[in-house]
Structure 1
Amino acid sequence: MEIVMEIKETEYERYQKAKKRVQEIKGFYSHLASYILVMIVLIFINLRYSPQYLWFVWTLLGWGIGLLVHAIMVFNIFTFIGKDWEEKKIKEFMDEEKSRDKYYE
């Protein structure tokens, strides 16, 4: 009976992780959509009322850097930064601790 409960908990945990991942991806695409819409409006305003100075570029770059960082975190582009890396490191340290404890027993 306990084994069945453990399997169900594991499936539930996997479901929760997958659901969280989908929410993160959805959040990124919402961020991307708002970025595109706001940039279109700002570019229009800038070119319409003060075309001699292209100030929209600063907003484009600043927010674009934030969007890039968001993409890196959501899509695990650099695996050493992501959550998977953290979980692997935690498991690695826990395994090292177990083996150290067994060595001294």
Structure 2
Amino acid sequence: MATREVAEHKINRGFAIHFAVYAIVVGALAYMNHTRNPDNLWVMWVAGGWGLGVVLHAILAFTPATREKGVHNVMERQNEREARGSNMTDKMSQPAR
């Protein structure tokens, strides 16, 4: 049975991973852009577009109404996985016919 704390942890971890990957990749691209072509700041398009996605993810993860819906969805998915897993275990423990 999925708990609320586990669901909230998964939501927080999902956002943290998204933000960390964004920061690392955009940082590396900014370095490349600055060292190879400083006159053309194309990295701003990447940072802006992906940054918009990160901001929307933060809104969905941390706004109370949408967070509640997200926690509910994560708990439902986890309960479905556990139910499928127990059915599979039951089927595997039965002798073959």
**TM-score normalised to structure 2 length:** 0.64
Partner of 1:84: 68
Greater gyration radius: 1
Identity fraction in percent: 29
**Which structure is higher in RCO with an 8 Å CA cutoff and minimum separation 6?**
2
Instruction: Report deviation, 1:21.
Output: 1.3
Instruction: Report deviation, 1:18.
Output: 2.2
Which ranges in structure 1 are unaligned for 5 or more consecutive residues?
Answer: 1-11, 88-105
Residues 18-70 of structure 1: CA distance to partner in whole angstroms, max 9, x if unpaired? 21111010110111111111111000110111111000000000000000010
* Distance (whole Å) between structure 1 residues aligned to residue 36 and residue 67 of structure 2: 45
**How many residue pairs are counted as aligned between the two chains?**
71
What secondary structure is seen at the aligned counterpart in 1 of 2:22? helix
> Does residue 44 of structure 1 match 2:31?
yes
> Does residue 62 of structure 1 match 2:49?
yes
Which ranges in structure 2 are unaligned for 5 or more consecutive residues?
Answer: 73-97
Q: Which aligned segments of 4 or more residues in structure 1 are displaced greater than 2 angstroms?
A: none
